[in-house]
Amino acid sequence: MIRINPHYKKLQASYLFSDIAARISDFSQKNPDTEIIRLGIGDATRALPAACIAAMHEAVDEMGQDASFRGYGPEQGYAFLREKIAEHDFAARGAQIAADEIFVSDGAKCDTGNFQEILATETRVAVPDPVYPVYVDTNVMAGRTGAFQDGRFENIVYMPCTRENDYLPDLPDTDVDLIYLCFPNNPTGTATTKQTLSKWVDFARQNKALILYDAAYEAFIRDETLPRSIYEIPGAREVAVEFRSFSKTAGFTGTRCAYTVVPKECRAFDKNGSPEMLHPLWNRRHSTKFNGVAYPVQRAAEAVYSEQGQKQVKAIIDDYMKNADRICREMDALGYSYAGGKHSPYIWVDARTDSWNFFNALLEKTGVVCTPGAGFGPCGSRYIRLSAFNSYDNVDRAMQRIRKALG
């Protein structure tokens, strides 16, 4: 008799975005003349950089001729892209990462979700609260948790990030094996310093733990002294895997390209405590269950690193950050405490009330959509997330409406 994976039954239905959609729909019916301004979902709104478009057209033409057609590429990505990544994203920042330590994929969500597969089921997992739900749900599916109780899964170590600790997780005071970190953070928008990150690398080394470091939002960092990669920290190569994405950097949310870095020295252990390198294990997983990213998409990603591409990407990010500045100014003027918005497209606002109540009030009074923090964990229940992914005009009008309604 074929049986299901029983752990799937522990998953909580993900109502957040469908609940939001239902409430917007209800509001629109009652207020047909109010234009909705969406500052909820973190999805790119600006066109792909012109350099990427040109590169993709060229690659599509290659695919249209027998002589230049490309079939299966290397599962790990073409050398032309892996080499550009190693040079621009790591060597240029003083982080030594070789091209063959980079695994090109179709998304950081997939990679952060898949990576746990090469680790033991008995792994003790630590996550921030609030947190990107994929980190937790994929570990639930793998059978690493108990039941869901009071908003949290048993056997997961939650690390609260609230106004009280500047939204930065404290080092766990219990045994943990696998630690998920995300900087600049989704949803709180907080960035981290080299000093703080060093503390985590040291912890992982001392406790034989592994860090899964999600740096999908590194392009939004505006202070050059802040680390963009965990490999800027000495000793990180042994204890950290890093996830990067072109989604938020260059607007690839609908084009799909990302990468994962697994340094050759990065280790876990076998049951006898002997080190086992993760690079060959991930390589085996990646080449067995994945067939590479579309050739035209890899060419588009490569174009991000061209001189024109770099200028165009910077201009897009600068525009989104003007939106973030506009939101921060308004929150300052209204006297709201918040995190993020300086090195991140997200502004995490202390709503001083239940996040769904605030969401409803904001929608009713202004037609502006935010994301209720409760969707990211119990520690988010008093906060809301505002996203800078929109046009400046929309953001400015949203802020004017908010000032009028809440000021």
For the segment 236-265, give every residue that binds a second copy (CB under 8 A). 251, 253-256
Q: How far is the CB of 59 from a second copy (least distance, A)?
A: 9
Radius of gyration for the alpha carbons in the chain, expressed in angstroms and rounded: 22
Q: Which of 293, 331, 370, 384 binds a second copy (CB under 8 A)?
A: 293
Interface residue with a second copy, options 71, 149, 224, 307 (CB under 8 A) = 71
CB distance 405 to 366 below 8 Å: yes
Task: Tell me whether residue 72 or residue 94 sits nearer to a second copy (CB atom).
Answer: 72
Among 37, 39, 56, 233, binds a second copy (CB under 8 A): 56
HEC-encoded secondary structure of 5-56: CHHHHHCCCCCHHHHHHHHHHHHHHHCCCCCCEECCCCCCCCCCCHHHHHHH
Rule CB under 8 A: choose which of 60, 92, 171, 315 binds a second copy: 60
Q: Which of 20, 37, 45, 200 binds a second copy (CB under 8 A)?
A: 45
Residue 43 in the binding site for a second copy (CB under 8 A): yes
Question: Nearest approach, Cβ of 66 to a second copy (angstroms)?
Answer: 5
Cis peptide before 32 (omega within 30 of 0): no
Residue 167 backbone zone (phi > 0: left; psi -120 to 50: alpha; other: beta): left
Q: Which of 40, 128, 292, 373 binds a second copy (CB under 8 A)?
A: 292
Least distance in angstroms from the C-beta of 258 to a second copy? 9
Say how far apart CA 212 and CA 272 lie, in whole Å. 23
Cβ-proximal residues to 383 (8 Å cutoff; 6+ apart), any chain: 130, 187, 188, 348, 349, 350, 351, 355, 373
| Interface of this chain with a second copy, residues 98 to 127, rule: CB under 8 A | 106-107, 109-110, 113-114, 117-123
Residues 89, 101, 129, 137: which binds a second copy (CB under 8 A)? Answer: 137
How many residues belong to the site for a second copy (CB under 8 A)?
80
Structure tokens belonging to residue 275: 């080190």
Residue 68 has phi, psi (to 5 degrees) of -110, 0
Nearer to a second copy, 85 or 126 (CB): 126
| Binding pattern for the stretch 196-215 against a second copy, x by CB under 8 A and - elsewhere | -----------xxxx-----
CA distance 355 to 117: 34
